[in-house]
Amino acid sequence: MAKTPEKIKDVIREARKYAKHFRVTDGKKFRLEDYDPGDTLDVAEEKPRAKEILAAGVAALAELQGMLYAQDRWSVLLIFQAMDAAGKDGAIKHVMSGINPQGCQVFSFKAPTSEDMDHDFMWRCLKCLPERGRIGIFNRSYYEEALVVRVHEQLLRKSKVPPELITKNIWKERFQDIRAIERYLSRNGVLIRKFYLNLSKKEQKRRFLERFDTPEKNWKVSPSDVKERAYWNEYMHAYEDLIRETSTKESPWYVIPADNKWFTRVMVAAAVIEGLSTLDLEYPKLDAIQLKELAATRAELVGKS
């Protein structure tokens, strides 16, 4: 267990080394085809140790979160996007497993309700931003508004956006607005890290078939997920454009290989640790006056029965 600060420093060093492979901070030259969903870097032989590595990562994360909470200055927003069956839920569950539930919240964004549609496209997500000291997780997000809504443009026409605002520039405008909001949040102390779990079409088919063929997984079968595969190329184009347009230094995307779940989880943990390590977190230190008060209160406690 990574309990001692030295051990955490080791984990942070490793995490930085791995996370940088998948981080996109400047999308201009980004091409999805440069990222292999089956990549396991040089750690393929580590697979049997994946659980151990993840446990060390989770322990380091728990320690960093403890400091984040105590310091109560920064907040952390983790955004997860992916095609179906890429393992968003599993990654969130495993990576956050050691974290104090009081310091962490998960929100899932599915098809918008009529109340959601009565507002601007980011409204429902912005209501759920993490408070200072907390980690907030978005399982899908406002990015769907430039993914599913872009692939199925009839969703846009069905929405209540005034028709004259729906022009050929709408996606560029949405990206511009997302960049502006994310910059604003960063400047207010929200650390943003975004994850695209990069699953191959072939592996998605394998996972879907497993859902049909395993009784305990039958409940996960969704005919619409299977139909959505027909739009695979359109989704890939939308993801590529989105990552190009919304990767920035303060709000990077991580394109995490998702064909091997053990690797996905370790790399998500690495990227979150790397992000937290940039915040120079530490437990709040008391000043001389506060220390004097502390000593006096302690003495009082000792003196009483």
Determine how many CB atoms are found less than 10 A away from the CB of residue 149.
23
Which amino acid is residue 235, in one-letter code?
Answer: Y
In the bound state with Mg ion, the residue whose beta carbon lies nearer, of 135 and 146, is: 146
Q: Does residue 112 interact with ligand ATP by CB under 6 A?
A: yes
d(CA 2, CA 237): 41
Q: Does residue 111 interact with ligand ATP by CB under 6 A?
A: yes
Output the six-digit token pair for 246: 């919304």
| Min separation Cβ 225 and ligand ATP, Å | 7
| Residue 234: alpha-carbon gap to chain centroid | 23
In the bound state with ligand ATP, the residue whose beta carbon lies nearer, of 84 and 177, is: 84
Q: Are 37 and 200 in contact, with CB atoms under 8 Å apart?
A: yes
Tell me the residue number closest to ligand ATP, measured at CB. 144
Stretch that binds ligand ATP, among 62-70, 147-155, 185-193, 252-260 (CB under 6 A): 147-155
| Min separation Cβ 180 and ligand ATP, Å | 19
Instruction: By CB under 6 A, name the one of 32, 148, 156, 181 that touches ligand ATP.
Output: 148
| Min separation Cβ 185 and ligand ATP, Å | 19
Determine how many CB atoms are found less than 10 A away from the CB of residue 180.
10
Q: Does residue 165 interact with ligand ATP by CB under 6 A?
A: no
Contacts of ligand ATP in 27-66 (CB under 6 A): none
Q: How many residues bind ligand ATP (CB under 6 A)?
A: 13
In the bound state with ligand ATP, the residue whose beta carbon lies nearer, of 23 and 194, is: 194
| Min separation Cβ 33 and Mg ion, Å | 25
From the list Mg ion, ligand ATP, none, partner contacted by residue 285 (C-beta under 5 to 8 A by kind): none
| Min separation Cβ 262 and ligand ATP, Å | 19
Output the six-digit token pair for 76: 């952390």
Q: Are 23 and 252 in contact, with CB atoms under 8 Å apart?
A: yes
Q: Does residue 160 interact with ligand ATP by CB under 6 A?
A: no
| Residue 247: alpha-carbon gap to chain centroid | 14
Q: Does residue 84 interact with Mg ion by CB under 5 A?
A: yes
| Min separation Cβ 148 and Mg ion, Å | 11
Q: Does residue 271 interact with ligand ATP by CB under 6 A?
A: no
Q: Does residue 145 interact with ligand ATP by CB under 6 A?
A: yes
Q: Does residue 155 interact with ligand ATP by CB under 6 A?
A: yes
Q: Does residue 89 interact with ligand ATP by CB under 6 A?
A: yes
In the bound state with Mg ion, the residue whose beta carbon lies nearer, of 84 and 177, is: 84
What is each CA distance from 274 to 104, 167, 238, in whole angstroms? Answer: 18, 39, 27
| Min separation Cβ 100 and ligand ATP, Å | 25
- Which residues are near Mg ion by CB under 5 A? 84
- Which residues are near ligand ATP by CB under 6 A? 84, 89, 109-112, 139-140, 144-145, 148-149, 155
